[in-house]
Amino acid sequence: MSDGEILRVERLSMRFGGIRALHDVSLGVKCHSITALIGPNGAGKTTLFNCLTGFYRASGGRILFEARGRSTDVLQVLGGPFRAGDFLSPRRFASRLWYKLFGGTHLVNRAGLARTFQNIRLFREMSVLENLLVAQHLWVERGLLAGILNTRGFRRAEEQALEHAFYWLEAVDLVDCANRLAGELSYGQQRRLEIARAMCTRPQLLCLDEPAAGLNPAETAALSRIIRTLRDAHEVTVLLIEHDMGLVMGISDHILVLDHGELIAEGPPAAIRHDPKVIAAYLGADEEELA
Amino acid sequence: MAEPSLDIRQPLLDSLLAGLIALVVFGPIVGVVLDGYSFHLESSRVAWIVGAVMLGRFLLSLFLHSAGGRGWLQRLEGGGAGVQVLPPEHRSHLRWLLPLVLLAAVVFPFFAGKYLLTVVILGLIYVLLGLGLNIVVGLAGLLDLGYVAFYAIGAYGLALGYEYLGLGFWSVLPLAALMAALAGALLGFPVLRMHGDYLAIVTLGFGEIIRLVLNNWLSFTGGPNGMSVPAPTFLGLEFGRRARDGGVPFHEFFGIAYNPNLKFLFIYVVLLLTVLLVLYVKGRLVRMPIGRAWEALREDEIACRAMGLNHVLVKLSAFMLGASTAGLAGVFFASYQGFVNPTSFTFFESALILAIVVLGGMGSTLGVVLAAFMLTVAPELLRSFADYRVLLFGMLMVLMMIWRPRGLIRISRRGFARRPGVAP
Ligand SMILES: Nc1ncnc2c1ncn2[C@@H]1O[C@H](COP(=O)(O)OP(=O)(O)OP(=O)(O)O)[C@@H](O)[C@H]1O
Ligand SMILES: [Mg+2]
């Protein structure tokens, strides 16, 4: 992995039966940058996110993620199938077996990568605050005995989690909704709550899947301010999928363009704006015309 | 409606329609009386009935059209609508009720006869079962149709432990909880990766397998003949009139008169303490990270995984805790009956416990306690309706699903007072 990169994807491919959703995608994401992933509908953007965050097991390639002082191989922690080499070395066999039993998507999050979903996935019948408390599961006192006896350590941990939750509620301007059901919030509020919830897992890389979909212009402006603060004040790296070109061009440092499962262009906003391949992809031009 | 005054036309129409239907239904049944080979008409009886129906329907629609009635209707329909978050400073009215209920539970055995005592013990056993299943179904959202298997493990744990290892009530009580939890883990680990329907079928199968093993392993479990269970003891003192092996029975040791109910009194006391303990633990669990994780898992498993929760372990913990509660209930059931056989652990029992959870309102503790007593104590007291028990039960379920699909008690969530947000 070249220096300064938090995420490195090499020759990633993903197929669903006969559909080739991703093909030989290689990309890198720089630390503390805002990187946008754009492309026409059905280009494979969400599929790429699902591979990165461990919801799909990629059919081929490699995803390396470097955060919290260690490097994580996403495909390994998902517990891939046994290979012939595993049966020769007991250590590799044990590690494979361990990840098969206890590995999974959650380990990707624990490595420091959080995400939001294109179709919002909140815990709808829990209160807004409880949504944020669930996200802090790994940072509170989880001992059964401590909780049942309500020890001082348990109460202190809960109090800290609450304060942290309120901090993020303030950051996304939802303090007044703290004690409402998450499912009752308006669409824009739900989107912001999802970002706050992802941030409560204390990630170093935040993946946002179409955060501005369905927002009005004022809300979109507020969102781009929030994303900037995330990067500047909290030192997270942001990777976002977005169709709103105004937002993308305004905030991103680097843009990746995906079409038909292949990376067709990447570069700073100014270069992407005038890239003929990108324009063709969005306007639906034939390959012959381009050549 | 433009004017706020009562509109009389609609109620009149309603009542006319109801009268017509009543005429069609009751006319032939009540009005035509067979008399040997001929018949005569009893028009006055029909008139009375139809009149009563029309008047009733008229008054009902008048009430429902008035402002008060509309409000009442709205409350009835809106009440089951869902979940509410309580304000942070909210104090439940129930905190006044709780000491009263406790007092009633303490003085109750002094006035109750043996029959009433046994009925209430049965009710409390089902409270325990309902609370356990409530963790699995109500909180974690895992449909478990074989819950009775863990109950059977507890009950047979006592019977078999006495038969082969000479264990008594007190040593089996914690062991049964452990064993049931272990069985839950063994069943759960491979199957909890499955979703809703598959899990329901696998657990259903597990329940039946346990029952069939108990039924058919004649040499070990006594098969359909069942096994006898030792009476519980208190610090080694027995509750019978005479103690075995020349020991001193409880009443002689304390110098009180012999009371044949002593065994049930003892079970009642221990059971009540256990139920209170489980209630307390349940109350704590929903405020703990593990309880929140269960509910989050019920709401959205994918989001849970994206939050770094290991969904299999979270499900497993719910499954194990639920199972261990059933194990406890099984031990009480076995010592209360003094005898166990496989017929106590059929699928109907699982369905009954599930009905308690659904009726009480998924996830609501108070609802489960009320529903457990409703569904177990009421049929005992209405013995004359025993034949219709399942029918009544089915009707109750249908009515519930129509009027209160979310259960008797509306679920409320805890509110939190505002904290100053501190930077991480
Ligand atoms: N689980 C799946 N099974 C089969 N095919 C899938 C699956 N998920 C995605 N696909 C296919 O992969 C392709 C890429 O889909 P994807 O959702 O990644 O597009 P996208 O770039 O996110 O589009 P949009 O901008 O509309 O969100 C589509 O052709 C889709 O049909
Ligand atoms: Mg998408």
Tell me the nearest-neighbour CA distance from A275 into chain B, angstroms.
Answer: 35
- In this structure, which residues have their CB less than 5 angstroms from ion ligand 2? A 46, 118
Alpha carbon of A19 to ligand 1 centroid (Å): 10
Looking at the predicted structure, is the pLDDT value of residue A40 above 70? yes
Question: A125: buried, middle or exposed (CB in 10 Å: 19+, 13-18, 0-12)?
Answer: buried
Tell me what the mean pLDDT of segment A58-66 comes to. Answer: 91
Task: Give yes or no: residues B198 and B57 share one domain.
Answer: no
First-to-last alpha carbon distance for chain A, in angstroms, is: 34
pLDDT of residue B75: 64
Mean pLDDT is lowest, of B40-54, B78-92, B132-146, for B78-92
Q: Which amino acid is located at B120 in the chain?
A: V
Task: Give yes or no: residues B114 and B16 share one domain.
Answer: no
Which chain A residues have a beta carbon less than 8 Å from that of B295?
Answer: 123, 125-126, 130
Contact predicate B342/B226, CB 8 Å: yes
Looking at the predicted structure, is the pLDDT value of residue A1 above 60? no
Looking at the predicted structure, is the pLDDT value of residue B315 above 60? yes
Identify the band that residue B81 occupies on the pLDDT scale cut at 50, 70 and 90: low
From the list A137, A144, A178, which residue is nearest B309 (CB)? A137
What's the CA gap between A229 and B280, in Å, rounded?
Answer: 43
B284, A150: Cβ pair inside 8 Å? yes
Identify the band that residue B420 occupies on the pLDDT scale cut at 50, 70 and 90: confident
A110 vs B377, which has greater pLDDT?
A110
Which chain A residues have a beta carbon less than 8 Å from that of B88?
Answer: 179
Tell me what the mean pLDDT of segment B323-348 comes to. Answer: 92
Instruction: Return the C-alpha torsion angle A214, A217, A222, A226, nearest 10.
Output: 50
Residue closest by Cα to atom 26 of ligand 1: A41
pLDDT tens for B354-363 read: 988 888 877 7
B109 vs B322, which has greater pLDDT?
B322
Window 309-338 of B: residues touching A by CB (8 A cutoff) are 309-313
A83 vs A6, which has greater pLDDT?
A6
* Minimum-distance ligand 1 atom for the alpha carbon of A39: 21
pLDDT of residue B3: 46
pLDDT of residue A289: 46
Which chain A residues have a beta carbon less than 8 Å from that of B419?
Answer: 159, 162-163, 166
3-state secondary structure of A286: coil
Tell me what the mean pLDDT of segment B163-187 comes to. Answer: 91
A175 vs B242, which has greater pLDDT?
A175
Q: Which fold has domain A3-111+202-288?
A: Rossmann fold (3.40.50)
A130, A145, A151, A230: which to substitute to probe chain B, counting the most B Cβ within 10 Å?
A130
Contacts of A104 (CB under 8 A, 6+ apart): A54, A77, A78, A79, B305, B310, B311, B312
Residue closest by Cα to atom 25 of ligand 1: A41
B222 vs A287, which has greater pLDDT?
B222
Is residue B42 a part of any domain in this protein? yes
Task: Give yes or no: residues B114 and B49 share one domain.
Answer: no
- Interior/surface letters B202-229, b for 16+ CB within 10 angstroms, e for the rest: bbbebbbebbeebbeeeeebbeeebbeb
pLDDT of residue B1: 41
Is residue B231 a part of any domain in this protein? yes
Instruction: Say what the ipTM of the complex is.
Output: 0.91
pLDDT tens for B17-67 read: 988 988 888 887 777 878 878 888 878 888 888 899 889 988 888 888 777
* Minimum-distance ligand 1 atom for the alpha carbon of A48: 18
The β-bridge relationship of strands A60-67 and A5-16 is antiparallel
Is residue B92 a part of any domain in this protein? no
Distance of alpha carbon B342 from the chain centroid:
21
pLDDT of residue B82: 67
What's the CA gap between A117 and A53, in Å, rounded?
Answer: 11
pLDDT of residue A189: 94
Alpha carbon of A193 to ligand 2 centroid (Å): 19
Looking at the predicted structure, is the pLDDT value of residue B4 above 60? no
Which chain A residues have a beta carbon less than 8 Å from that of B83?
Answer: 125, 181
pLDDT tens for B248-266 read: 676 667 767 777 777 888 8
Number of structural domains chain B divides into: 2
pLDDT of residue B108: 86
- Classify the C-alpha dihedral A149-A151-A154-A159 as positive or negative: positive
Q: What percent of chain B has pLDDT over 70?
A: 90
Q: For chain B, give the mean pLDDT.
A: 84
Which chain B residues have a beta carbon less than 8 Å from that of A109?
Answer: 305-308
pLDDT of residue B149: 94
Residues with CB under 6 A from ligand 1: A 16, 19, 21, 39, 41-47, 118
A38 beta partners: A257
pLDDT of residue B40: 81
**CB under 8 Å, gap of 24 or more: what pairs does B182-189 form?**
B182/B320, B183/B149, B183/B150, B183/B153, B183/B323, B184/B150, B184/B316, B184/B319, B184/B320, B184/B322, B184/B323, B184/B324, B185/B316, B185/B319, B185/B320, B187/B319, B188/B315, B188/B316, B188/B319, B188/B320, B189/B312, B189/B316
Looking at the predicted structure, is the pLDDT value of residue A14 above 90? yes
pLDDT of residue A164: 93
Looking at the predicted structure, is the pLDDT value of residue B403 above 70? yes
pLDDT of residue A193: 95
Looking at the predicted structure, is the pLDDT value of residue B5 above 70? no
Tell me what the mean pLDDT of segment A149-166 comes to. Answer: 93
> How many other C-beta atoms can be found within 10 angstroms of the C-beta atom of residue B152?
29
From the list A137, A140, A170, which residue is nearest B307 (CB)? A137
Identify the band that residue B423 occupies on the pLDDT scale cut at 50, 70 and 90: low
pLDDT of residue B378: 75
Tell me the nearest-neighbour CA distance from A156 into chain B, angstroms.
Answer: 13
Tell me what the mean pLDDT of segment B311-334 comes to. Answer: 94
pLDDT of residue A21: 92
Query: What are the CA-CA distances from residue B238 to residues A279, B247, B361 (Å)?
Result: 89, 8, 41
Tell me what the mean pLDDT of segment A196-203 comes to. Answer: 94
Domain boundary among B45, B67, B89: B67
Tell me the nearest-neighbour CA distance from A72 into chain B, angstroms.
Answer: 15
Looking at the predicted structure, is the pLDDT value of residue B236 above 70? no
The residue segments making up the domain with residue B56 are 9-67
Task: Give yes or no: residues B163 and B25 share one domain.
Answer: no
pLDDT of residue B2: 44
Task: Give yes or no: residues B108 and B230 share one domain.
Answer: yes
B422, A164: Cβ pair inside 8 Å? yes
Q: Check if B292 contacts A (Cβ < 8 Å).
A: yes
Give the residue range(s) of CATH 3.40.50.300 domains in chain A.
3-111+202-288
Alpha carbon of B296 to ligand 2 centroid (Å): 24
* Minimum-distance ligand 1 atom for the alpha carbon of A16: 4
User: What is the pTM (predicted TM-score) of this model?
Assistant: 0.85
Q: Nearest to residue B342, comparing CAs of B179, B165, B221, B232?
A: B221
pLDDT of residue B272: 94
- Classify the C-alpha dihedral B115-B119-B122-B124 as positive or negative: negative
What's the CA gap between A194 and A171, in Å, rounded?
Answer: 12
Looking at the predicted structure, is the pLDDT value of residue A291 above 60? no
pLDDT of residue A115: 95
pLDDT of residue B421: 66
B53 vs A80, which has greater pLDDT?
B53
pLDDT of residue B77: 58
Tell me what the mean pLDDT of segment B300-306 comes to. Answer: 93
Q: Nearest to residue B326, comparing CAs of B105, B194, B134?
A: B134
Contact predicate B85/B30, CB 8 Å: no
Looking at the predicted structure, is the pLDDT value of residue B231 above 70? yes
Looking at the predicted structure, is the pLDDT value of residue A286 above 60? no
Task: Give yes or no: residues B149 and B280 share one domain.
Answer: yes
Mean pLDDT is lowest, of A133-142, A219-228, A269-278, B3-12, for B3-12
pLDDT tens for A229-241 read: 999 998 899 999 9
Tell me what the mean pLDDT of segment B402-423 comes to. Answer: 76
Tell me what the mean pLDDT of segment B215-221 comes to. Answer: 88
CA of A37, nearest ligand number: 1
Tell me the nearest-neighbour CA distance from B135 into chain A, angstroms.
Answer: 15
